[in-house]
Amino acid sequence: MQTVGLRTHIWNNGVKSVLLLAGFPVLLLLIVFALAVLLEAFAGAGVAEGLANAVRRLPTFVPVAVAAALAWFAIAWFANTRLIGAMTGARAVTRAEEPRLYNLLENLCISRGLPMPRLGVVETAALNAFAAGMTPTQHTVVVTRGLADTLDDGELEAVLAHELTHVRNGDVRLLVVATVFVGIISIAADLLARGWGNVRIGSGRSRGGSDRKGNAGSAVVLIVIAVACIVVARLLAVVIRFALSRRREFMADAGAVELTRNPDAMIAALRKIEGRSQIAGVPEDVRAMFIDDAAGPGFFARLAATHPTIAERVGALVAFAGGRDPGTWSPPAAAAPAPAMPTAARDRPMPGPWGAAPRGP
């Protein structure tokens, strides 16, 4: 694992956030150009004419796209925690509702002089947690019900400290930018690709054999160009995932140990989370914010993974923090229910304190 200073890591996160925000208009322009090319293809223009017309259409489309981008920026900036909460099913909780969670988080903040973030819970049996928010007033730490019920106080404190470290290191801001601001490009590209498929089927039926071969060939070429632009935009959005260095999880684990002075608790928490972190229905871009998001099988899945494996993280804590690895964790077996008492025995009179139960006359 490459050595990097905390200040350098925080500075890098700030630079990446700015670059991602600057790249958003470029990706948006690419999507708009693809839409203009599709319109020309369905209008029956030739290849050269269609591309020229698409370029001429840009001054008309760009202001609308810029206005939409600014509106999305405003919504995402002020409502990013609500958007992420809606995508994950998180709800805000108070001290009265979750005194154990609230007290553990508050004690950590007091011990390091950190502002108290909001607290949230996702009602799922999965074991996971994340932090969100662009500004100190928005910062929120969220845990799942399964995590709160499974971990003991020391382990739960370590997870909360892990999320607080993401806040301190600026990881949360970068993750929100990648998830909410730029991640919308993935959604737009997917919707445009699906919409093209529907329009293509409908237009083919309506025109029948009346299209001239030349126009049909030009339309196919223009559609291919538009689809290529969409694919490039989608790939660039995927490349954003590579800006989310997996080093941030190692540093957050180390920060949790620094806050709690308990590497064994962090290791034990990770072992309990291992293989039990999947929350159904959460978008892939949002899962990058979780404390764990296990990559699927295959080389490319591991290459694009936003998290190191639990084994790698535990190994780092053992090697550099002196923790002890208890190994793979298995939930305790549920106690077998007591056998039912036979009816005859249940109906038999019970003996009194001085021997057999008295008989009737």
pLDDT along the chain (361 residues), means of 10: 54 66 75 84 80 86 79 83 92 96 96 93 97 92 97 97 92 80 63 52 44 66 84 74 73 93 96 95 87 76 78 94 93 68 58 54 51
Contact (CB, 8 A) for 307 and 246: yes
Q: How far apart are CA 336 and CA 163, in angstroms?
A: 37
Phi and psi at residue 121, to the nearest 5°: -135, 140
Torsion sign, CA atoms 226, 229, 231, 237: negative
Do 184 and 25 meet the contact criterion of CB atoms below 8 Å apart? no
| 3-state SS track over the chain | CCCCCHHHHHHHHHHHHHHHHHHHHHHHHHHHHHHHHHHHHHCCCCHHHHHHHHHHHHHHHHHHHHHHHHHHHHHHHHHHHHHHHHHHCEEECCCCCCHHHHHHHHHHHHHHCCCCCEEEEECCCCCCEEEECCCCCCCEEEEEHHHHHHCCHHHHHHHHHHHHHHHHHCHHHHHHHHHHHCHHHHHHHHHHHHHHHHHHHHHHHHHHHHCCHHHHHHHHHHHHHHHHHHHHHHHHHHHHHHHCCCHHHHHHHHHHHHHHCCHHHHHHHHHHHCCCCCCCCCCHHHHCCECCCCCCCCHHHHHCCCCCCHHHHHHHHHHHHCCCCCCCCCCCCCCCCCCCCCHHHHHCCCCECCECCCCCC
Rg (CA), the chain: 28
pLDDT of residue 5: 55
Active site residues per annotation? 163
Length reported for the chain:
361
Spatial separation of the C-alpha atoms in residues 170 and 293, rounded to whole Å:
20
As to burial, measured by CB atoms within 10 angstroms (0-12 exposed, 13-18 middle, 19+ buried), residue 236 is middle
pLDDT at position 343, please? 59
Query: Where are the domain boundaries for CATH 3.30.2010.10 in the chain?
Result: 101-175+246-321
Res 205: pLDDT: 43
**Domain 101-175+246-321 in CATH: superfamily?**
Metalloproteases ("zincins"), catalytic domain (3.30.2010.10)
Whether the full predicted model's pTM is greater than 0.85, yes or no, is no
- pLDDT score, position 269: 97
